[in-house]
Each structure stands twice: as C-alpha cells, then as structure tokens.
C-alpha cells in the first residue's frame, strides 16, 4: 500500500459498525463518471448505492465549476461517436441552461447539471448518500466485502457484490494496494472560479490582444508579477443563461500532489489566493467601467492528475493517435492529447498530425507529429479514437473497477482520455460491467469485453464495435 510515514501512531479500538446498506453494486464518488456507472447498472436491474462526499453530484463539472463537455462528433463533425448518458442529461436541460458552442462543445449551467444528476439517479432507483466520505474497506481474499463510510450518523459499513471506484484519485485501489504510479509530468490542478466582468474590448485594443482571445492570461503575463502571480496560462468560458460572468481556469497550482491531505489543503488555499490576485489585477488594469468581482469559488480544486493504477492493459497514446479499433471498445473520442506541463506551458497533439505547444510567455510553436515520425501527412486520417475494455480490468481483485482519471495510461494518452465526455463513457462501461459480473456471478477478469461493449450500445452508447 502507498502509505505516508508519520512520527507516531495510535491503535484504533475495535468497534461494532452498523451495516447501513446492502446492494449489488456500490459506486464510490459521484462525478458524472460515478453517476453514469450507477445509472447504467441500475437500469439493467442491479440494486445500486452511490456514495459522494460533497453535497451534490457532478465532481469537476459542477462542484469544480468546469461546465464544458467536448463534442460528441468525430474530427470532421460528420459522424456522432458519443451518445449514451452524456447526451441524455444535456438533452434534458432547457435551452437557457445548455448550449452547443463552436466546435460542437457543450456548455451548461453547472447548477442545473447537479439537479439533472439527482433526478436520473432517483429515477433509476439508486440509493443515494451525500455528505458521505469513503473511509476504508474489508476484503475476503481477493473480494471486497464492504466499504466503511463516515457521515452525520458516524461510521457505517456498506456491503455489496461489486464496487466501482470513481473517486478520481483511486481511494479504494490505494487501500487495496493495487500497484500505482505517477506520470513523469503530473498535470497541475487549477482552482476554478466565476468572475463578473467580461467587457474587455477596450483593453484588447490597448494591449493588441486579438478580439477572439481571452484578455486575462496576457494580462497575467504583463502585470501578474506586481500582484504576486506566476506566469500562467489558462482560459475562460461563458455559462449559458448567465450574463457578464465567466468561469475562469487560469490559476494553476504547481508542484503539489493533491492525492495527499496536506498538499491538497495547501493547493486549495494557494488557488483561492490566486483568484483574488487576478481580480485585483483586473480591477487595476482591466476596463475602467467594469466591476470585476469574484462571484463563486469551486467547492474543491480541480485536480487533473494524481495516481494511476495498473490494469491488464495500459492505454497507449499511439493507439489513440492512429485510431486503433477494438472488438471490446467501450469509448470513442476525439479530444486532443492535451498535456499541461508542470512549468513550461501546454501541448496539444491532434489526430490529423498537428502538434501545438503554447508556452507560458505566450509564444506558440506548431509542428507535425506525423511528419516527425515519418508517417504520411496527407490522405485519410483517423477521425476518432477508441479504448478497449481491458484497460479497466486489473489483475488481482475480483469485484472492483476503477473508473475515472486514475486510468492506466501513458502520460500523453491520459492527456486525451481525462476529459469528461471520455470519462463519462468509462463510467457507463464500469456500470454495465458491474451488472454483468453480478448477474453472471463472474469476476471482473472473467467478463467478456465484447459483451460489455454490446450491452453499452444497447443502452444508448454510440456504435462502439
Ligand atoms: C481546471 C480543469 C479544467 C478542465 N477542463 C475540462 C474541460 O473543459 N472539459 C472536460 O471534459 N474536462 C476538463 N477537465 C478534466 C476533467 O474535468 C477531469 O479529468 C474529470 O472531471 C475527472 O473526473 P473523475 O470522475 O475521475 O473525477 P472527479 O470529477 O474529481 O470526481 C470524483 C468524485 O468523487 C468524489 N470523491 C472523491 N473522494 C471521495 C471519497 N473518499 N468519498 C466519497 N466521495 C469521494 C469527489 O467529491 C467527486 O465528486 C478539466 C479539469 C480541470 C481540473
């Protein structure tokens, strides 16, 4: 087990713990990844429980304020490659709260998504525990028998036949001692906030910033030092139905591992300090007639990357970039390989060969990775990538799947797979697999990936195989 060393230890006295719930499938963590896992398993007939430590579902998409899912279409925007619950929940939103934007990305009001996620869970008959923190587990051999949770009732146990670890950091996998690793370049977290004040034409003209570019990052380059801000890059986005307020993600917190309590605490505080500094900078140097105000702060810092857990198959970036196909495909995607370097900028690699590096000083270098690898740069190119079920199957424990950003992937493959339209599909696959394992009395290792893919398609996922 990955255990931190402390100077002293105490022994916790033995205690009788009430079994607060029993289910077929227990999902821990309630971003859309976890919610979609729970709904898929429940719709197939499993008795499902979901545990979430925050007061609402949606993870980074809601409580992290990142209310943007990428396109459901392939590169040419000709063929729909993603459907399932991602499409279903957005279609349930009103025209005011959800819009499709340039490049077919999906923009939504995060508060409305919270309510939709409550609703689909309730409709599917899933037992819900909010404000409930996963706190440990028990095993019988290679099977998890129950987890422990902590909430307002104290410590309780939840028994289930199958568990889905959708905690992002892989808290259950950590406690099981599944082999883990950090990528060489751990992508930094960002503390996201909503800021009032988007009228910036005057400043764009004055500083020579293109009309379609966000004004804050170049202003951080120019004036940030005066406010104690490091050179940073980032972006903002409008929120449907909300006027003159954008969510902003230009507050990376560097060189802290948010899977550890003390570093997570430090990251939250640094992130909030940075938000205020950006607002103060805009008050001094932004449009004179604009009122820049911090409207909302994420209820937890957006964590991009911590530990990854080994499984039978690792997701390889060349398989993604070359559009490899699988009989047991559980996911389709197009989102670029997008690696936020810990200190030097951001790099995008696209299926068509384009490779763009944007440095923190604002310079941009464009190359072609296909050319660099001696591959043809014209002619037909893959228009989307897929992922096989094997990437979700670990070697030892029989009744658990980890679904989320703890995925077993190369640093570059992770840079593409980590976005929500992809992880949402992984959640759906985990839910279907959990149901099939319980129904067929099988271990996760005995499951047929092709059957998982077929069952996913029957439940509304775009044609996967
Ligand atoms: C700033 C930022 C911008 C991004 N931009 C985009 C974007 O534009 N589009 C996009 O698609 N992706 C984007 N991403 C990536 C994406 O948001 C994340 O990779 C994705 O949300 C991770 O999903 P997850 O389900 O693995 O984890 P999370 O969304 O972190 O969900 C984990 C859930 O588990 C809960 N949890 C954790 N531990 C416990 C516990 N012990 N007990 C109970 N509950 C627990 C958490 O509260 C949370 O609800 C961005 C990420 C960041 C940080």
Quick: pLDDT tens for 411-439: 999 999 999 999 999 999 999 999 999 99
Q: Kindly list the distances between the CA atom of residue 416 and the CA atoms of 12, 238, 315, 366, in Å, as whole numbers in the listed order.
A: 42, 23, 10, 18
Q: Kindly list the distances between the CA atom of residue 367 and the CA atoms of 76, 90, 336, 355, 370, in Å, as whole numbers in the listed order.
A: 21, 36, 15, 5, 9
Residue 173 CB–ligand 1 contact under 6 Å: no
Report how far Cα 80 is from the mean position of its chain's Cα atoms. 21
- Ligand 1 centroid, distance to 222 Cα (angstroms): 31
Residue 28 CB–ligand 1 contact under 6 Å: yes
Q: Kindly list the distances between the CA atom of residue 115 and the CA atoms of 40, 193, 196, 431, in Å, as whole numbers in the listed order.
A: 18, 20, 24, 21
Q: Whose CA is nearest to atom 48 of ligand 1?
A: 59
Instruction: Tell me what the mean pLDDT of segment 135-145 comes to.
Output: 98
- Ligand 1 centroid, distance to 146 Cα (angstroms): 24
Domain ranges within the chain, ordered by starting residue: 19-185+388-458, 193-297, 335-382
Name residue, tokens 């508060």.
111
What superfamily would CATH give domain 19-185+388-458?
FAD/NAD(P)-binding domain (3.50.50.60)
Q: Whose CA is nearest to atom 3 of ligand 1?
A: 66
Q: Kindly list the distances between the CA atom of residue 359 and the CA atoms of 4, 189, 340, in Å, as whole numbers in the listed order.
A: 35, 18, 10
Question: What is the best residue among 26, 128, 168, 346 to mutate for testing ligand 1's pocket, by most ligand atoms within 8 Å of CB?
Answer: 168
Report how far Cα 408 is from the mean position of its chain's Cα atoms. 14
What are the φ/ψ torsions at residue 24 (nearest 5 degrees)?
Answer: -75, -45
What is the Cα–Cα distance from 33 to 237, expressed in whole angstroms?
A: 22
Instruction: Tell me what the mean pLDDT of segment 382-390 comes to.
Output: 97
Residue 404 CB–ligand 1 contact under 6 Å: yes
- Ligand 1 centroid, distance to 12 Cα (angstroms): 32
Question: What is the best residue among 169, 420, 425, 431 to mutate for testing ligand 1's pocket, by most ligand atoms within 8 Å of CB?
Answer: 420
Judge if pTM exceeds 0.85: yes
- Residues forming beta bridges with residue 247, ordered by sequence position: 194, 237
Instruction: Tell me what the mean pLDDT of segment 281-302 comes to.
Output: 94
pLDDT digits (tens, 9 = 90+) for 322-344: 999 999 999 999 999 998 876 66
Residue 423 CB–ligand 1 contact under 6 Å: yes
Is residue 79 a contact partner of residue 383, using CB atoms and an 8 Å limit?
A: yes
Please check the confidence at residue 465 and state whether its pLDDT lies above 80: no
Running DSSP on this structure, what letter comes out for residue 312?
Answer: S
pLDDT of residue 44: 98
What is the Cα–Cα distance from 429 to 40, expressed in whole angstroms?
A: 8
pLDDT digits (tens, 9 = 90+) for 6-40: 999 999 999 999 999 999 999 999 999 999 999 99
């Amino acid at each position: 087990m990955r255990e931190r060393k402390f100077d002293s230890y105490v022994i916790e006295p033995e205690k009788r713990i009430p079994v607060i719930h029993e289910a077929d499938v227990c999902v821990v963590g309630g971003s859309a990844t976890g919610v979609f896992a729970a709904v898929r398993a429940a719709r197939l007939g499993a008795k499902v429980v979901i545990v979430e430590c925050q007061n609402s579902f949606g993870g980074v998409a809601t409580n992290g304020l990142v209310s943007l899912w990428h396109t459901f279409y392939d590169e040419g925007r000709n063929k729909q490659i993603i459907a399932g619950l991602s499409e279903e929940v957005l279609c349930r939103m009103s025209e005011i709260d959800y819009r499709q934007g340039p490049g077919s990305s999906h923009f939504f009001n995060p508060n409305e998504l919270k309510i939709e996620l409550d609703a689909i869970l309730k409709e599917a008959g899933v037992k819900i525990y909010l404000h409930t923190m996963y706190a440990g587990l028990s095993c019988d051999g290679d099977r998890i028998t129950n987890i422990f949770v902590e909430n307002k009732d104290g410590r309780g146990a939840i028994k289930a036949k199958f568990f889905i670890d959708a905690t992002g950091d892989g808290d259950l996998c950590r406690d099981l001692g599944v082999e883990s690793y950090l990528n060489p370049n751990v992508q930094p977290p960002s503390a996201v906030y909503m800021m009032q004040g988007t009228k910036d034409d005057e400043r764009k003209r004055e500083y020579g910033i293109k009309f379609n570019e966000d004004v804050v990052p170049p202003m951080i380059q120019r004036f940030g030092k005066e406010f104690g801000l490091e050179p940073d890059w980032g972006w903002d986005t409008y929120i449907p139905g909300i006027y003159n307020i954008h969510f902003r993600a230009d507050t990376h917190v560097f060189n802290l591992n948010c899977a550890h309590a003390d570093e997570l605490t430090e990251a939250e505080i640094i992130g909030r300090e940075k938000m205020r500094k950006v607002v103060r900078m805009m008050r001094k140097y932004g449009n004179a007639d604009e009122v820049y105000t911090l409207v909302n702060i994420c209820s937890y810092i957006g964590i991009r990357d911590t530990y990854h857990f080994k499984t039978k198959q690792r997701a390889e970036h060349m398989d993604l970039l070359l559009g490899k196909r699988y009989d047991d495909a559980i996911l389709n995607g197009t989102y670029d390989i997008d690696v936020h370097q810990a200190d030097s900028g951001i790099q995008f690699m696209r299926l068509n060969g384009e490779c763009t590096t944007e440095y923190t000083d604002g310079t941009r270098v464009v190359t072609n990775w296909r050319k660099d690898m001696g591959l043809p740069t014209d002619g037909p190119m893959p228009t989307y990538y897929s992922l096989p079920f094997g990437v979700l199957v670990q070697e030892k424990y029989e009744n658990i799947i980890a679904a989320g950003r703890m995925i077993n992937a190369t640093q570059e493959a992770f840079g593409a797979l980590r976005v929500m339209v992809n992880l949402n599909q992984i959640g759906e696959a985990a839910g279907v697999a959990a149901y099939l394992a319980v129904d067929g009395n099988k271990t996760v290792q005995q499951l047929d990936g092709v059957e998982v893919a077929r069952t996913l398609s029957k439940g509304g996922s775009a044609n996967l195989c």
